[in-house]
């Protein structure tokens, strides 16, 4: 959190505001995605709960109706044997949009990974998960072979663009690197 926005934004902004903005580069989105966050959306006459990923409809477009407001983010308390990590590359440590970001969540039973979630920001039209890569990591010992196979899937899945912050090629190359760093941590 200390690397998201500026001190002024961290003191006045909200996580819900950050995700409702629906920026593909929102730094709060990948960590929430790997923790299977849900959001509570309310209107005058209704309330609905949906997975966070359903909030993102496109770049800077959320799925809220004009009369709705996001009132709550729900994250389930993880079981024992779990760990998560968030990594990002930006021009500065804070107060800058990420060129690329990655979050990882794993649950281990002994030496075996029984749950793995991977999410990335700034590499698609919305923050994304990569379930095919997650499946490769599950039921493995998170050995070099499984991590390399997952890395290839991540590389093939992300579809970044080139903009003033970075090229599509650089972003694509950095996704497996950040994933490996997050898993190592």
Low-confidence ranges of the chain (pLDDT < 70): 1-6, 92-95
In 3D, which of 118, 100, 90 has the Cα closest to residue 183? Answer: 118
Pick from 177, 127, 128, 131: which is nearest to 151 by CA? Answer: 177
**Prediction pTM value:** 0.92
| pLDDT single digits (tens) 100-140 | 999 999 999 999 999 999 999 999 999 999 999 999 999 99
What pLDDT score was predicted for residue 2?
62
């Amino acid at each position: 959190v200390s690397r998201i926005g500026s001190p002024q934004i961290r003191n006045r902004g909200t996580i819900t505001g950050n995700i409702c903005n629906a920026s593909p580069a929102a730094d709060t989105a990948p960590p929430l995605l790997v923790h299977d966050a849900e959001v509570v959306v309310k209107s005058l006459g209704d309330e609905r709960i949906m997975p966070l990923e359903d909030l993102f409809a496109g770049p800077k477009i959320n799925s809220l109706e004009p009369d709705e407001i996001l009132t709550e983010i729900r994250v389930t308390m993880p079981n024992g044997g779990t760990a998560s990590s968030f990594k990002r590359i930006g021009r500065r440590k804070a107060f800058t949009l990420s060129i690329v970001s990655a979050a990882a969540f794993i649950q281990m039973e002994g030496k075996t990974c029984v749950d793995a979630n991977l999410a990335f920001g700034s590499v698609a039209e919305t923050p994304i998960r990569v379930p095919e890569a997650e499946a490769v990591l599950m039921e493995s010992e998170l050995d070099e072979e499984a991590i390399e196979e997952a890395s290839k899937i991540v590389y093939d899945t992300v579809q970044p663009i080139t903009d003033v912050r970075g090229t599509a090629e650089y972003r694509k190359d950095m996704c497996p690197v950040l994933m490996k760093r997050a898993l190592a941590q």
